[in-house]
Amino acid sequence: MEESKKVIGQQYSNAAMRGELNKLIKDIAKQMRPQAALRIGISENELNKSLSVSLGMNDEINAYADRRGHYIVINGSLMIYYHKMLKVYCATLSVGDKATNHMYKPSIHPERIASIMKKLLAADLENKLLLTKALDGVELNRAQIVVLTRLVHSCECFAVGHEMGHIIISRTKSNIMEMEAAKKIVEEFLEPIKELKDNEKKELLEPWTEEFCADLIGLQLTLSIPEVEPYKHWGNYKSWLCSGAEISRSLDMMMQEYKDRLNNGKLVTFVNTHPHDYLRLQAIRGSQDYIDAKGIPWFGESFSVFSKVIDFVLGIGEK
Ligand SMILES: [Zn+2]
């Protein structure tokens, strides 16, 4: 009896959570739709009717946009991964709360972090992340929760923006302005690598270029989001949104590194479909040269504001 009660409770909360996540990614896509429609050259209404954005629970794929440009699926477990990892990060922060004029101390000692994060990474690989507690018996304080909510939401925005970038690439007939810059990044990276033959480099060029291009468009779309709820109360909200691009890429990189290490040190040097996350992170950091960041005076600064998260994530990745 006890057992069946528990199962029912879990199913209920999972269903409620799915509903919430589904609504969240649809809302983000809606906020990006005017800019995306403009770039494709159709009306917002036309884009709405011809593009479905939904939540998936297939653990194999983080996020997906079909090559004909008609649907986007964002995996719920990717969002749970971002949430749990950032929760641990936020627990280590001492954050001031202006409303209560109070300074909150970190909820956990940094020494505990590596083992907690490792537990989460392992659980994610076994598809058990949802039921694995990030912080057992530790509560985040009010100010930490505010930071966490914004960081997670910013990561989710970039995940949707990147897939929307693929949609724009598939549906735009004319030249994509970011494509040239994206191609240059790939060529400059591959050129000096002697171990790869010319035909091998050629095979990587197109898919990798598209990924960089989707990142750059994704960031541009993210920054086109108007100052509506929930951003109204965030202060420099575009600064937070910029950080989502960087942080989500770093968390993906951390997962990849973890998998590589489990792989007995056998390094997976190149994946045909996607460039290494580190290279993508660098491209995002240098992206003000490629995307229109006018009107965001703190664009460059926002990346350094959140570089603490990156240092934190990378540091943990090495343990
Ligand atoms: Zn992609």
Does the pLDDT at position 104 exceed 80? no
Task: Convert the pLDDT of each residue in 252-288 to its tens digit.
Answer: 888 887 777 777 656 555 666 788 888 888 888 888 7
Domain edges within the chain: 2-317
Does the pLDDT at position 7 exceed 50? no
Cα(165) to ligand 1 centroid in Å equals 8
For 111-115, 148-152, 181-185, 230-234, which range has the lowest pLDDT when averaged over its residues?
Answer: 111-115
Query: When comparing pLDDT for 10 and 168, which is higher?
Result: 168
Q: E strand or H helix at 71, and its extent?
A: strand 71-75
- Whose CA is closest to 289, among 181, 192, 210, 149? 181
- Residues 82 and 21: beta-carbon distance below 8 Å: no
pLDDT at site 58: 66
Chain mean pLDDT for the chain: 82
Give the pLDDT mean for 116-133.
85
Cα(92) to ligand 1 centroid in Å equals 31
- Could you tell me the pTM of the whole model? 0.87
Ion ligand 1, residue ranges at CB < 5 A:
211, 214
Structure tokens at 54: 């939904």
According to DSSP, the β-strands at 63-65 and 71-75 are: antiparallel
Cα(108) to ligand 1 centroid in Å equals 35
Cα(182) to ligand 1 centroid in Å equals 13
Does the pLDDT at position 231 exceed 80? yes
